[in-house]
Homo-oligomer: A and B are copies of this chain.
Amino acid sequence: MDARQYASLPNPFPMWRGGVLHGARIAYETWGKLNTARDNAVLLFTGLSPPAHAASSEQDPDDGWWQGMVGPKLAIDTERFFVICVNSLGSCFGSTGPACSDPATGTPYRLSFPDLSIEDIARAGFETVRALGIARLDTVMGPSLGGMVVLAYAAMFPGSARRLLCISGTMAAAPFTIALRSIQREAITNDPAWADGNYDAAHPPATGQSLARKLGTITYRSAAEWQQRFGRDPIRADMKRGGPFRSEFAVQGYMESLAQRFVSAFDANCYLYLSRAMDRFDLAAHGEPVALFRAARLTQALVIGVQTDLLFSVDEQQAIADALKTAGVATRFAPLSCIEGHDAFLVDLKTFGAEIGAFLAN
């Protein structure tokens, strides 16, 4: 039950900060049909950790990470659009990344994988689209890390998309988020099991990864949501763990279960590469944002932010929308009041679906 397809990247594939990949590939899934004019394609980039499986399909009926958003008559309507979701370059769900075997040595790249940038993820998506014979996208879109990627995409490949949809992204990583991500990476690299990246896949740096994911969980949500959801409820007895200083409250059990899932699913080195790529992203490296957006030849844009987002502030979304407007792009800015923080796009499908559906149907 696997709906993934694979696109071969140009060989060699040059990386934005130096180095090349040989024999690299991108895993992607698609929904809907490409029309004969080849002008109904929507390219979807993901956040830091999801795979290309955004929604169920005949080939893979399991729920996807944006189940309820992508499908027939849904906000991203697969009766009208040909939707492509890519697993990011550098990730570990089928696309080439640090956990993959280096064809030059036959062993995993690990830390010999070249520096990864948001720009490389954008280019890998662009090459995937080109491999599908699509010259111009209807829409390039993505949330979170994917929101950074769509901005890089527009800057690097002018004219390659008619419309842009950016959700809770940013034009440049803010010091507050750099600080948070650097702690998450430190939790992993501090873990003796990380072994300078040379851990065995069966013995990952689980302690550090768990801590990193727990901190992620906190920053993806909001204090107000957790007050409603958990309050000061005690932890379920079977979820208690740790010594005298841990696990008394329900919220701790919630964080623990998400952390366990993450440790078993995501490669630590891939996480480190993707996390650092986010820190380093600064659209200004490509030029002045308004000039970039003007050159991108976009006709329309939708920028969505969430008031309770701790990680990608609503002010940063406003700045993206302002730059697009100044560049002459017909832009709607939607600052949403969802209580779920950064993760609202995954949870409040009704509010997000209304915005996204109205934009795409336009």
Q: Which residues of A contact B (CB under 8 A)?
A: 111, 172-180, 182-183, 185-187, 189-192, 196, 207-208, 211, 214-215, 217-218, 221-223, 226-227, 229-232, 242-252, 255, 272, 275-276, 279-280, 282, 310, 313
Contact = CB atoms under 8 A, between A and B. Distances in A.
Count identical subunits in the complex: 2
Given A179-B255, A251-B175, A189 B245 contact: yes
A207 to B, nearest CB: 5
Binding site secondary structure of chain A:
helix
Contacts of A175: 223, 226-227, 229-232, 249-251
Contact of A226 (B179, B185, B252): B179
Nearest to A312: B223
Nearest to A272: B245
B218 A249 contact: no
B190 A226 contact: no
B207 A190 contact: yes
Nearest to A250: B175
Given A174-B226, A176-B223, A190-B207, A248 B183 contact: no
Contact of A173 (B177, B208, B229, B232): B232
A187 B211 contact: yes
Contacts of A208: 190
Nearest to A233: B175
